[in-house]
């Protein structure tokens, strides 16, 4: 396994704007990509990663919010969404930047797993947001595009202070 370079919106916005193509055949290249993406997201202390963020324009996403609950999605699509949630969101391709975004409260996705089986999974709260965020990446969409607002430096400092106090 390898830790891959994560593209940064400041340097690689052109690449991050490209649309990813569906995976037609799950071969060794795809399973290795999934393995490497998991290692990369763990190393970056993130919760999700889309293949275009590591320069591979394929519809491949991984999400691991809770340790051990790894969701590997090939050709994912949102098949149901309901409600609304407003939360603060960040992205590994935009370190230090956070935005307030509106997402559905509940999201159901269909996807193919690494064994080629078509699966469905429903998520709420953070998982619902992660589904939307990562699938957006496959279409060249970043979470700041449709954000309500980008957090200011003062708000970020305040957030960090709160985090430190709660530790």
- Which residues participate in catalysis according to the annotation? 134
- What sign has the CA pseudo-torsion 33, 23, 68, 88? positive
Nearer to Co ion, 9 or 39 (CB): 9
- Residue 54 as a binder of Co ion (CB under 5 A): the answer is no
CB of 121 vs Co ion, minimal distance in Å? 19
Using CA atoms, how far apart are residues 23 and 30, in angstroms rounded to an integer? 8
CB of 22 vs Co ion, minimal distance in Å? 20
Which of the stretches 4-12, 60-68, 86-94, 104-112 binds Co ion when contact is defined by CB under 5 A?
86-94
Residue 50, by phi and psi: left (phi above 0), alpha (psi -120 to 50) or beta?
beta
Which of the stretches 77-85, 91-99, 101-109, 118-126 binds Co ion when contact is defined by CB under 5 A?
91-99
**Nearest 5°: CA angle at 104, between 122 and 135?**
70
- Residue 16 as a binder of Co ion (CB under 5 A): the answer is no
The terminus-to-terminus CA distance of the chain in angstroms comes to 33
Interface with Co ion (CB under 5 A), residue from 91, 109, 126, 127: 91
Using CA atoms, how far apart are residues 89 and 40, in angstroms rounded to an integer? 19
CB of 119 vs Co ion, minimal distance in Å? 22
Which of the stretches 26-34, 55-63, 78-86, 87-95 binds Co ion when contact is defined by CB under 5 A?
87-95
């Amino acid at each position: 396994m390898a830790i891959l370079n994560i593209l940064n919106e400041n340097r690689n916005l052109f690449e991050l704007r490209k649309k990813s193509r569906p995976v037609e055949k799950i071969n060794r290249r795809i399973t290795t990509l999934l393995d490497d993406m998991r290692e990369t997201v763990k190393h970056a202390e993130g919760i999700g990663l889309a293949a275009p963020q590591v320069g591979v324009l394929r519809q491949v996403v991984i999400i691991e919010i809770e340790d051990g609950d790894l969701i590997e999605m090939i050709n994912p699509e949102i098949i149901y969404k309901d409600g609304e949630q407003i939360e603060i969101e960040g992205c590994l391709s935009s370190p230090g930047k956070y935005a307030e975004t509106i997402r559905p409260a509940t999201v159901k996705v269909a996807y193919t797993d690494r064994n080629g089986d078509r699966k469905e999974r429903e998520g709420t709260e953070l998982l619902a947001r992660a589904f939307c965020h990562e699938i957006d990446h496959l279409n060249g969409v970043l979470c700041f595009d449709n954000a309500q607002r980008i957090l200011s430096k003062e708000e970020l400092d305040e957030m960090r202070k709160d985090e430190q106090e709660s530790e």
